[in-house]
């Protein structure tokens, strides 16, 4: 069933596309933030009163974090390796985080322009433990556009 007026999206139905290709086995996305500088401008009016205005400043780049199951996904691993090695010509990619309705139709899209991996953290490996291994990847981006 698709969203009806007043319905909210659910947090469990999302995806990550890198250069238009859906990444498989994604468990979590966090830290998706848009921020820009605020310019404070103080001036006097014609009658001598002090007035303060705020203006939008420059947009800031950002980061977000994705957690995924540790798989043999060659394309995702290659993207991580290109980023960490500094091969920015191939590491910078456009990525999108998609929020989907109950029928898996994209409803909201967060486009990350010139995204690359700046950090990877693997889950703890412990003898005798019965849990899935994950990778936590920090993605740095130059611009975030919400559609």
Proportion of the chain above pLDDT 90, given as a percent: 50
Note the pLDDT tens digit of each residue in 36-79.
Answer: 999 999 999 999 999 999 999 998 999 999 998 887 778 888 88
Distance CA 36, CA 134 (A): 32
| pLDDT score of 10 more than 70 | no
Give which of 89, 88, 84, 35 is closest to 62, Cα–Cα: 35
**What's the confidence (pLDDT) of residue 136?**
93
| pLDDT score of 1 more than 60 | no
Give which of 142, 123, 130, 104 is closest to 9, Cα–Cα: 104
Domain 14-146, architecture per CATH: Roll (2.30)
Note the pLDDT tens digit of each residue in 90-129.
Answer: 999 999 999 888 788 888 899 999 999 999 999 888 899 8
Domain locations in the chain as residue ranges: 14-146
Q: What is the model's pTM?
A: 0.82
Asked if 114 and 79 count as a contact pair (C-beta separation under 8 A), the reply is no
Distance CA 33, CA 36 (A): 10
**What's the confidence (pLDDT) of residue 105?**
83
| pLDDT score of 86 more than 60 | yes
Asked if 44 and 52 count as a contact pair (C-beta separation under 8 A), the reply is no
**What's the confidence (pLDDT) of residue 22?**
82
Mean pLDDT estimate for the chain? 88
């Amino acid at each position: 069933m698709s969203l009806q007026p007043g319905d909210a999206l659910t947090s469990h139905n999302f995806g990550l596309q890198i250069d238009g290709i859906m990444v498989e086995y994604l468990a979590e996305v966090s830290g998706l933030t848009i921020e820009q500088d605020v310019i404070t401008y103080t001036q006097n009016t014609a009658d001598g009163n002090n007035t303060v205005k705020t203006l939008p400043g420059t947009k800031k780049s950002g980061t977000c974090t994705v957690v995924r199951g540790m798989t043999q996904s060659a394309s995702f691993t290659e993207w991580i390796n290109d980023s960490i090695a500094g091969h920015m010509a191939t590491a910078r990619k456009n990525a999108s985080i998609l929020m989907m309705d109950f029928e898996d139709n994209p409803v909201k899209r967060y486009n990350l322009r010139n995204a690359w991996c700046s950090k990877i953290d693997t889950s703890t490996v412990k003898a005798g433990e019965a849990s899935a291994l994950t990778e936590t990847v920090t993605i740095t981006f130059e611009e975030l556009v919400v559609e």
